[in-house]
Amino acid sequence: MATSNLPRLDARLGAAFAYVRAGHTAADIGCDHGKLSAALAGSGRCPLVLACDLRPDPLQKARLACAQYGDAVQFRLGSGLSVLQPGEADDIIIAGMGAETIIEILAAAPWVFDARYNLVLVPATKHSVLRRWLVQNGFALRDETLCEAAGRWYTVINARYTGEKREPTGLECLCGKIPGQPGDRAYFAQQNAKLKKYRLGLAPGAESDAVDALIQQMEERICP
């Protein structure tokens, strides 16, 4: 039952919405205020949305936001993907958490290492760390959307398991699928600033030399 009375999504949640496949059950992990769950259910994009959160208060806000959609939204209180049974949802959204937390959630659910699952990941921090882990563990980065919010750049990552594990390059980790998108140079500058900060803590040696080379490559992307 689609409705025109849908919540307004910010750029990040709008990009996440776009990566969720129509007609599939979605799990919104860390649903917070429930706006994305409400939009997915209320638009008719998903026949069922599982709104999940670790904390009772956000989950109660999600209940209120999604109340008009009845059984199209179900609510789960608990940690990460432990609230789901394998196969309950094909599209899995994990948003608003740091990369390390997202990695912990995925690593704790071996069943998600399966091509049937469409992952929509919105890391709040350490985008490059998440990209590296995904590629190292057999997930393909299918696409990304660059978003700006509150003066910072974020990325929304769409990934799917293929089983092909490899070691990504430093540029792949820092840039992902962003090159060519509006705002890409500003995003690269943000990533490069973080890389330079990391470089300050390194002693002279092979690693610092490799980081210096990567900084130079990033600067060439910022100012070609």
Domain positions in the chain are: 11-167, 183-224
Residue type, 73: V
Note the Cα 74 to chain centre separation in Å. Answer: 22
Look at the domain 11-167 and name its fold: Rossmann fold (3.40.50)
pLDDT digits (tens, 9 = 90+) for 197-212: 999 989 999 999 999 9
Judged against a pLDDT cut of 70, whether residue 3 lies above it is answered with no
Overall average pLDDT of the 96-117 stretch: 97
Give the Cα separation of 215 and 224 in Å (integer).
Answer: 14
The dihedral region occupied by 209, where left means phi > 0, alpha psi between -120 and 50, and beta the remainder, is alpha
What's the pTM?
0.93
pLDDT over 90 at 136, yes or no? yes
Can you tell me the mean pLDDT for 108-120?
98
Cα three-residue angle 31-152-33, rounded to 5 degrees:
15
Binned at pLDDT 50, 70 and 90, residue 223 comes out as confident
Alpha-carbon gap, residue 74 to 154, rounded angstroms? 28
Q: What does the pLDDT read at residue 4?
A: 52
Rg (CA), the chain: 18
Q: Name beta bridge partners: 144.
A: 157
Each residue's pLDDT tens digit, 150-195? 788 999 999 999 999 999 999 999 999 999 999 999 999 999 999 9
pLDDT of residue 30: 96
pLDDT band (50, 70, 90) for residue 218: very high
Band of pLDDT at residue 149, cut at 50, 70 and 90: confident
Task: Give me the DSSP letters along 146-206.
Answer: EEEETTEEEEEEEEEE--------HHHHHHTT-TTSTTHHHHHHHHHHHHHHHHHTPPSSH
Residue 151 has a pLDDT of: 82
pLDDT at position 2, please?
52
Q: Is the distance from CB of 217 to CB of 179 less than 8 angstroms?
A: no
H or E stretch at 141: strand 139-149
